[in-house]
A and B are shown apart, each in its own frame.
Chain A
Amino acid sequence: MEIENQHPFQIDLGHLMAFNPHHQFPSLPSSREDLVSECLQKGTELVQSIANDLFNLPSTEDRDGPLVRLPPPTTRLPREKPLPKPKPPTKWELFAQKKGIKNRKKDKRVYDEQTHTWKRRHGYDRANDEDNIPIIEAKMTDESGEDPFAARRADKKKRVEKQEKNRLQNLKQAAKVGALPSHIQLAATALPITGTQAAPKKITKDELGNVAGMAATSTASGGKFDKKFAGEKPAKHQGKYRKFLPVVEGTGIGSREREQTEKVLSRLISKNSHEILNVNKAVNMYNVKKEKKQRNQGKSSSMSSKLKPNKKLQKKPLKKGSSKQGKAK
């Protein structure tokens, strides 16, 4: 024990870890219980030595108990992920540095010339909004037939596109160093070998099926005598989608095309056609209007008695109908 006291244990307060490198079992204890109790006893010594250091650290009283500031751990453990890399400067930042341009803070509120009020610089209802100019004064240099508003819009669009291009370029540079922001991914939309500019579309299952179906039926026999592959399904839409009646006059179907078109035409053209005028609806509308009128009159004169006969009049046809039904039964 005395020797051990002279050689203090290795203590890492940052991890609350203690290590006793001097202990050695002369002979393993015969029973498990002895072994455990000895281990616990040695462990207690170690914990006590950590506590000796820990409780002597300067502490601040908190509501939950004394708070102690731990020293940084001395045992070095491997990191979980590599150190984050610093972001390389953008092209503008490089340029600004070369020219000695410094960022200045801009006010959030700006005076709006049009409305003579103070407005936000950016966002909805912003001051001096380019997209929201009611009048552009004509100049002598203006060419006729040119829309100055459209020109402005196109110009703005071009600027936005240019900025987007610059942003992508800067991100590419950052990706090369491995300092891309964690929430941004650069995804390849086309292989560089093909040199295509447009992004290739992802082919869906349905589209593939359609193409396969088309290919299968594009033989002279419409795929009727072709060999079927294992697992090949019959085409979903067999035959035609739309029927066109023959235009040439003849017997049977030939005359039906004429009938069809004539029917549509007569419906459109004839003014007094009963098909167009919905009699039931018209009568209803008339009745409702009349009723409203009477009601309004009744209110103004505060005579409710006028409503009664009207109601009876309306109910009459209903009663008749019911009686008829009764007879039929």
Chain B
Amino acid sequence: MLQIRTPKNRKVKRELEKRAPKLVETGKKTLILHGTKTSGVLNEVLTELYHLKKESAVKYSRKNDGIKPFESGGDASLEFFSLKTDCSIILYGSHSKKRPNNLVIARTYNQHIYDMVEVGIENFKSMHSFAYDKKLSPRVGSKPFITFIGEGFENVEELKHLKEVLLDFFRGEVVENLNLSGLDRVYVCTAISPNKVFLTHCALRLKKSGSVVPRMELVEVGPSMDMVIRRHRLPTDGLRKEAMKTAKDKAKKKEKNVSKDIIQGKIGRIYIPDQKVGDMAIVDKSKGVKRERREAKMKNRDDGPASKKPKEDSEKPKEDSE
């Protein structure tokens, strides 16, 4: 026996629909959490990365026991958290003697771990330690430029993987229309050595250059850090192939009220509301123009108060008769 279960209220239904697979995906949410032990540096890294991604991130502030990425069965709770929060990028911070200041960036596909990169954080500089003109500070949720520098990103497998993960992490929402005046941040990733990446966050200053294209100027606003590659796990080929699938064509929006004619061509039908002639005469509808209330008051002063005078019961019927 099966039972059809539907949400009991609209809110839940909407939430479920939001989480359903979409033909064209808009952006990934990030879950930020840490293990049983963290360091001060790592705490700062996690909070600042959270601030960078604030519009699409969830941060867990409690210790999480039993998460051991790269070990069999060690990522079960990560998958559960991903399912619970509907996040598909997970930043997991941990700190141990063997792997100090350890940050694992994992991606999930269909609520299962897709791939993982483990990096160690070095030379971390917080965003509070940078001095710059605060007018330049990037706004929350603005679309960033992402730059990768260095041949390592092409030749070394680990760095190539890290590049893809970082791009997925930083790119934010996929947009079609972009407001050029809203560009205000850049992430600069540089491969310093085959296992080290320097990452920094800059604000963007657009300067006049005399042509259409303004001259770009980068102002470092932080955070900045070095990432030392430790372990990484690539997805299997089958999984990668499945995850890379894209919709062949975008879901077309139904065209309404448009028809085609051989002679006249495209014909559109539009709705024009009734012309309310009585309403249209008055252009200015502001309060001061309205005279009704004031006029009513004047009228009341003339004969109104007289009628409000307390009268004895015996007199009342007389007035009515008059």
| A41-52 contact mask (Cβ, 8 Å, vs B): 1 or 0 | 011101110111
A47-B145, A56-B212 known; A40 and B167 CB under 8 Å?
no
Q: Does A186 contact B (CB under 8 A)?
A: yes
The answer to whether B17 and A47 have CB atoms under 8 Å apart is no
| B158-189 contact mask (Cβ, 8 Å, vs A): 1 or 0 | 00000110011001001111111111001010
A40-B220, A80-B28, A187-B2 known; A51 and B213 CB under 8 Å?
yes
- Taking the closest CB of chain B, its distance from the CB of A260, in whole angstroms, is 51
The answer to whether B21 and A81 have CB atoms under 8 Å apart is yes
Inside 8 A of B220's CB, which chain A residues have their CB?
A: 36, 40
Bound form: Cα–Cα A186–B4 in Å: 5
Bound form: Cα–Cα A48–B100 in Å: 37
Q: Does B224 contact A (CB under 8 A)?
A: yes
The answer to whether B1 and A199 have CB atoms under 8 Å apart is yes
The answer to whether A46 and B5 have CB atoms under 8 Å apart is no
The answer to whether A46 and B22 have CB atoms under 8 Å apart is no
- Taking the closest CB of chain A, its distance from the CB of B12, in whole angstroms, is 8
Instruction: Select which of A15, A48, A81, A189 is within 8 A of B2 by beta carbon.
Output: A189
The answer to whether B2 and A168 have CB atoms under 8 Å apart is yes
Q: Does B288 contact A (CB under 8 A)?
A: no
The answer to whether B1 and A23 have CB atoms under 8 Å apart is no
A65-B182, A187-B5 known; A43 and B177 CB under 8 Å?
no
The answer to whether A81 and B109 have CB atoms under 8 Å apart is yes
Inside 8 A of B200's CB, which chain A residues have their CB?
A: 36, 39-40
- Taking the closest CB of chain A, its distance from the CB of B317, in whole angstroms, is 12
The answer to whether B147 and A35 have CB atoms under 8 Å apart is no
Bound form: Cα–Cα A79–B17 in Å: 17
Q: Does A66 contact B (CB under 8 A)?
A: yes
| A148-189 contact mask (Cβ, 8 Å, vs B): 1 or 0 | 000000000000000000011001100000000011111111
Nearest B residue to A15 via CB reads B171
Choose the segment among B36-44, B57-65, B148-156 that binds chain A (4+ C-beta atoms closer than 8 Å): B148-156
Bound form: Cα–Cα A32–B122 in Å: 12
Q: Does B275 contact A (CB under 8 A)?
A: no
Choose the segment among A69-77, A123-131, A218-226 that binds chain B (4+ C-beta atoms closer than 8 Å): A69-77
Nearest A residue to B163 via CB reads A19
Instruction: Select which of B12, B147, B148, B213 is within 8 A of A56 by beta carbon.
Output: B213
Q: State which residues 184-205 of A face B: CB under 8 Å.
A: 184-190, 197, 199
Inside 8 A of A172's CB, which chain B residues have their CB?
A: 2
- Taking the closest CB of chain A, its distance from the CB of B251, in whole angstroms, is 10
A21-B154, A182-B16, A199-B3 known; A51 and B171 CB under 8 Å?
no
Q: Does A214 contact B (CB under 8 A)?
A: no
Interface centre among B7, B110, B178, B213 (most CB of A within 10 A): B178
Q: Does A18 contact B (CB under 8 A)?
A: yes
The answer to whether A84 and B22 have CB atoms under 8 Å apart is yes
Inside 8 A of B176's CB, which chain A residues have their CB?
A: 69-70
Bound form: Cα–Cα A80–B87 in Å: 9
- Taking the closest CB of chain B, its distance from the CB of A173, in whole angstroms, is 12
The answer to whether B107 and A47 have CB atoms under 8 Å apart is no
- Interface residues of chain B: helix, strand, loop or mixed (majority): mixed
Instruction: Select which of A22, A44, A84, A189 is within 8 A of B218 by beta carbon.
Output: A44
Q: Does A20 contact B (CB under 8 A)?
A: yes
Inside 8 A of A47's CB, which chain B residues have their CB?
A: 145, 147, 186, 204, 216, 218
The answer to whether A46 and B149 have CB atoms under 8 Å apart is yes
Q: Does A285 contact B (CB under 8 A)?
A: no
Inside 8 A of A182's CB, which chain B residues have their CB?
A: 16-17, 19-21
Q: Does B244 contact A (CB under 8 A)?
A: yes
Q: Does B193 contact A (CB under 8 A)?
A: yes
Q: Does B192 contact A (CB under 8 A)?
A: yes
Inside 8 A of B21's CB, which chain A residues have their CB?
A: 81-84, 182
Inside 8 A of B175's CB, which chain A residues have their CB?
A: 70
Total chain B interface residues with beta-carbon distance under 8 A = 79
Bound form: Cα–Cα A82–B25 in Å: 10
- Taking the closest CB of chain B, its distance from the CB of A275, in whole angstroms, is 47
Nearest B residue to A190 via CB reads B1
Interface centre among A39, A48, A75, A76 (most CB of B within 10 A): A39
Interface centre among B16, B163, B186 (most CB of A within 10 A): B186
Q: Does A64 contact B (CB under 8 A)?
A: yes
Bound form: Cα–Cα A273–B180 in Å: 97
Q: Does B123 contact A (CB under 8 A)?
A: yes
A183-B6, A183-B7, A302-B314 known; A21 and B151 CB under 8 Å?
yes
Interface centre among A36, A43, A199 (most CB of B within 10 A): A43
Bound form: Cα–Cα A34–B99 in Å: 28
Instruction: Select which of A16, A40, A187 is within 8 A of B146 by beta carbon.
Output: A16
The answer to whether A44 and B216 have CB atoms under 8 Å apart is yes
Q: Does A286 contact B (CB under 8 A)?
A: no
A16-B144, A78-B114 known; A51 and B20 CB under 8 Å?
no
Q: Does A17 contact B (CB under 8 A)?
A: yes
The answer to whether A187 and B3 have CB atoms under 8 Å apart is yes
Inside 8 A of A302's CB, which chain B residues have their CB?
A: 314
- Taking the closest CB of chain A, its distance from the CB of B2, in whole angstroms, is 5
Q: State which residues 222-238 of B face A: CB under 8 Å.
A: 224, 235
The answer to whether A39 and B151 have CB atoms under 8 Å apart is no
| A205-244 contact mask (Cβ, 8 Å, vs B): 1 or 0 | 0000000000000000000000000000000000000000
Inside 8 A of B151's CB, which chain A residues have their CB?
A: 21-24
Pairs of residues from A and B, 7 with the lowest C-beta to C-beta distance, nearest first: A65-B181, A182-B20, A78-B243, A43-B188, A46-B147, A81-B21, A185-B5
- Given A56-B212, A69-B176, A184-B5, 12 further pairs, Cβ under 8 A: A15-B171, A22-B151, A23-B150, A24-B150, A28-B193, A43-B147, A59-B180, A64-B179, A78-B235, A82-B242, A182-B16, A185-B4
